[in-house]
Amino acid sequence: MQSKEHVPFLVALTKINKVGPKLAKVLVSYSGGYEAVFQQSKKALLAIPGIGPQIASAVLDMKVMDAVEKELLFLEKNPDIQLLPYTHPNFPSRLRQYDDGPLLIYSKGDNQALNPSRSVGIVGTRSPSQYGRSVCENLVEQLKEYNVSIISGLAYGVDTIAHRTAVKSGISTLGFLAHGLDIFYPAENRKLANSMLEKGGLVTEFGPGSIPAREHFPMRNRLIAAMSDVLIVVESAIKGGSMITAELANSYNKDVFAIPGRLSDSTSEGCNFLIKTHKAALYQSTKDLSYIMGWTADNQSSVQLEIPLDLTPEELSIINYLKQKETVHLDKLHHALELPLSKLASLLLNLEFKSLVRSLPGKKYTLANK
């Protein structure tokens, strides 16, 4: 790990135009350290692979040091934000193993959460259907017994649902951001982000003052892909950030799953395409993940209700309502869910056949594992 004296030069490397993580690491390697990069002659810099006259001049200019000084002053006034170089022992090992992994990260929250034993990335559309919302909630809840950390991007929609359900279920969750930790986007998720800090945290490679610029989101998505042992796409259009993240995960040789959807739903077009083109496996339950990843649940002896992810929205609404109650009378279900009695009775019968619901005397119902 580098000493604190080298930190200004480390930060300066991230601010040089046209110098990304790969090239920055080359500069450090050839020069022998962060500070040594800025002590090289122009001739020596030009001898380094990938360094041309423009970049060499930018390195020697040192104008970036003004921005570095402001950033370090901000960090000094905000000790809850930590700057971790890729050489730091707390730096996520999953990010360190890739050439395009960040040179440094800024983090808030529990440092131990940066290196979870198992990690599951969950991404999807910013405008999920009711089916997608229910699927995402059930998916995260079912993952609790596998002692995983939920990885996502804290964006609207599926990201928000995944993080919120993780917090509610007591699961560690990390949010990767496309901006600095001095602001928050979207602002509506600030409260959720704060609730993640106790058992998880926020991570970004962008320093204070960095806005959520369009080009930052693909960079953020590569960190989600790299940080995840397995990536699950819940709902996605044929184009968008989730599809980019899935492509990146495949390029990192990560296992990718997708939730299938109806052919007529635009929000499922991307997932169905990933499955059709063999870029993702079909995900129906945690049994699929357990089989592919070789993971076993922490509490094998406990009886868990395995909820198939191909249930209809009405069936999922029944399951979610019964989760909150020991037993529920048919009439109460009818009024609470606003479903016609004839249709409700048919749905309950189907759920009984699937061993998800049990009928009790007196027209009462409960979940099969209660």
184-241 pLDDT, tens digit each:
899 999 999 999 999 999 999 999 999 999 999 999 999 999 999 999 999 999 999 9
**Residue among 107, 99, 88 nearest 34 (CA):** 88
Average pLDDT over residues 93-98: 91
State how beta strands 82-85 and 104-109 pair. Answer: antiparallel
Contacts of 189 (CB under 8 A, 6+ apart): 154, 156, 160, 163
**Confidence grade of residue 302 (pLDDT, cut at 50, 70, 90):** very low
pLDDT above 90: percentage of residues in the chain: 66
* pLDDT reported for residue 299: 54
Average pLDDT over residues 337-351: 89
Report the SS3 class of residue 11: helix
Q: Where are the beta strands (DSSP E) in the chain?
A: 82-85, 104-109, 119-123, 149-152, 173-176, 200-204, 230-233, 255-258, 281-282, 328-329, 357-360, 364-367
pLDDT digits (tens, 9 = 90+) for 147-174: 999 999 999 999 999 999 999 999 999 9
| Predicted pLDDT of residue 359 | 85
The amino acid sitting at 209 is: G
The DSSP-derived string for 321-345 is: HHHT-S-EEHHHHHHHHT--HHHHH
CA angle centred on 351, ends 347 and 356, rounded to 5°? 150
Residue 4, pLDDT score: 67
Measure the CA–CA gap between 232 and 259, rounded to whole angstroms.
8
Domains of the chain, start order: 1-76 (1.10.150.20), 111-293 (3.40.50.450), 313-367 (1.10.10.10)
Contact yes or no for 232/283 (Cβ under 8 A) = yes
295 or 169: which carries more pLDDT confidence?
169
Q: How many helices (H) and strands (E) does the chain have?
A: 17, 12
Instruction: Tell me what pLDDT residue 220 has.
Output: 97
Tell me which amino acid residue 102 is. Answer: P
pLDDT interval class at 279 (50, 70, 90): very high
What values do phi and psi take at 115, rounded to 5? Answer: -130, 65
The pTM score is 0.79
Summarize the confidence of residues 300-305 as an average pLDDT: 50
Residue 306 pLDDT more than 90?
A: no
